[in-house]
Amino acid sequence: MDVYWLEQTEADVPAGEQWLSAGEMLCLRGLRFAKRRTDWRLGRWTAKRALAACLNVPSDICDLANIEVRATPSGAPEVLLFDLSADVTISLSHRAGAAICAVARSKTSLGCDLEAIEPRSSAFVADYFTVKERALVARTSVAKQTLLVTLCWSAKESALKALRAGLRLDTNCMDVSLVDDALEAPSEEGWQDSFSTSLPATATAGWRPLRVRYADAQVFHGWWLHSNRLVRTVVSALPLREPIKPVCFSSGVDLPSRSGCGFAADG
């Protein structure tokens, strides 16, 4: 089974609405706040482009209207292709003007998350992290703690999405571990700063494995990557091989893409 992923930014989203289905147009009109509409459009655009590439269907602007992404009663997204349920699983996340979508060509447990690398308080860690996670944070150098806390939170979010539960579950039921128990940063000095202009825009340590154990029973396998001041995580109930580096693909959409795209294979 392959898991495909795509990342887009607000600048990638076209101004018009001809790529939306009738149901999506109706949903968009019901959103009152501008930021909510912007985030929703970004998520749908990212998902449709990822699905078109994964399913190998036409992906011109108007053709994308044949792909509909809608929320289930649980809040998890589901996909219709030509008004019929598609045998795929997707997960969506957006943050700081960017969105990520992960796609599996079957019904499976899958979750992805995108988080901005920014300081979080010790109270946040105490409230939402397990004893093991707090110990991991404590033994990590101060220079890397912000990255680690962001990473652990993102992995929890991905696992909660894979469970189709969201934050309705206690995050202390989720225990995140780094398989190689290592964090990489471009420099100690760069990561100690305020995580604004001082953070290198393109710094990345490459993909690294992680695991999320849910309620001491189920284990989710996953990977994490940081670049452009963001952390990305993807988890699945099935073992995942290391995701490939994002590469641009030709989708048939006659628009420039400023973001990475690619796919990850799992076992």
Of 7-21, 62-76, 166-180, the least confident:
166-180
243: confidence class by pLDDT, cuts 50, 70, 90:
low
pLDDT averaged over every residue in the chain: 83
Q: Is 266 within 8 Å of 3 (Cβ atoms)?
A: yes
78-137 pLDDT per residue, tens: 999 999 999 999 999 999 999 999 998 888 899 999 999 999 999 999 999 999 999 999
pLDDT attached to residue 56: 85
For residue 265, name the pLDDT band (cuts at 50, 70, 90): very low
pLDDT tens-place string over residues 30-57: 999 999 999 999 999 999 999 998 888 8
Q: What is the mean pLDDT of residues 173-177?
A: 93
Q: Is the pLDDT of residue 266 over 70?
A: no
- State pLDDT tens for residues 192-203: 333 333 333 344
Decide which of 118 and 185 is more confident. Answer: 118
What global pTM score does this model have? 0.83
**What are the chain's domains?**
2-108+243-265 (3.90.470.20), 113-236 (3.90.470.20)
Residue 183 pLDDT grade (very low, low, confident, very high; cuts 50, 70, 90): low
Max CA pair span of the chain = 53
The amino acid present at 199, given as its one-letter code, is L
